[in-house]
Amino acid sequence: MTVFERFIRSKEYKTITGKATMAFQFYLKEERLNSGGSINRKIYTLRSYSKYLRIEDVPHADQLPFFDVLKIRQGYRNRPSALTVFQVKELLEHIDRNTILGLRDYAVYALMYQTGLRVGEVHALDLDSIDFDNKQITVMGKGQKIRQLHLTREVCLILYEYLAVREFFFKSKSSPALFISKKGNRLAIRTIEDNMKKLLKKVKFTVPFNVTCHTLRHSFASHLNDKDVDILVIQSLLGHASTRSTEPYIHPSMERIRAAMEKLPGVIYMKKLLKEGVLKLPFQNNKPRRL
């Protein structure tokens, strides 16, 4: 609402018309570089406000053009970038588990990868969120939606290892938070993100995208998809309200694409010809030159 108000005032529109609203959409796209989804959400907010004004019988509220403006068409949604299983393993192996802070950070990132939790969801976990007897964790997701996830034996052992040293943190006995800082506060989202940046400086692998805490969630979902887990199951684990939010995760990994390509009849036939010597490629006859 504030953005729209500033725009209307800056352009000195006397009345809110369809032309003014479309100009606002263009402004969001060209000057604020908003995505189609972001622009549509702002228009939806204006529509909701328009409904409220009608309910309150505000004069001329029924003449507001927000419902007449078309949605912005959204572009193709790229698959979220994910690490390979080996890259995730290398990342976790670079955490020093000989310190209590290292044990805490290892538990944080291992839990994010093994359960697909958002950084905010990890931040909000309490001690009573963990049910070791039933091997479950209760998570408060977006929109205050609660979901329960299964904990593997490996994750339980990692959490046991951390909880064994949690008492050595300042004010640990008075804090309900599962993960706490050196000062005894609930471990902040910013701290989790900053520690991830420090960790990434230690690893040897490089990837063509920016790795963040959320990348672990992407990796969790992508690896499940590679194991042919049903999209509805992945949707439930991620806490998505719709499969549309889960769809970006169901694209096959490069490993699966390569494996599929190797099974193509044409590829198999070419390999057979090469092996039998029937077919020879030009570079096979090239001999290294003497210097």
List active site positions. 118, 142, 214, 217, 240, 249
Q: Is the dihedral of CA 148, 153, 154, 157 positive or negative?
A: positive
Cα-trace Rg, the chain = 26
* Residue 182 falls in which region: left (phi positive, over 0), alpha (psi -120 to 50) or beta: alpha
3-state SS class at 99: coil
Non-local CB neighbours of 204 within 8 Å, separated by 6+ positions: 90
Helix (H) / strand (E) containing 148: strand 146-150
Single out the residue of 221, 216, 213 nearest to residue 187, CA to CA. 213
Q: Is the dihedral of CA 89, 95, 99, 105 positive or negative?
A: negative
* Residue 277 falls in which region: left (phi positive, over 0), alpha (psi -120 to 50) or beta: left
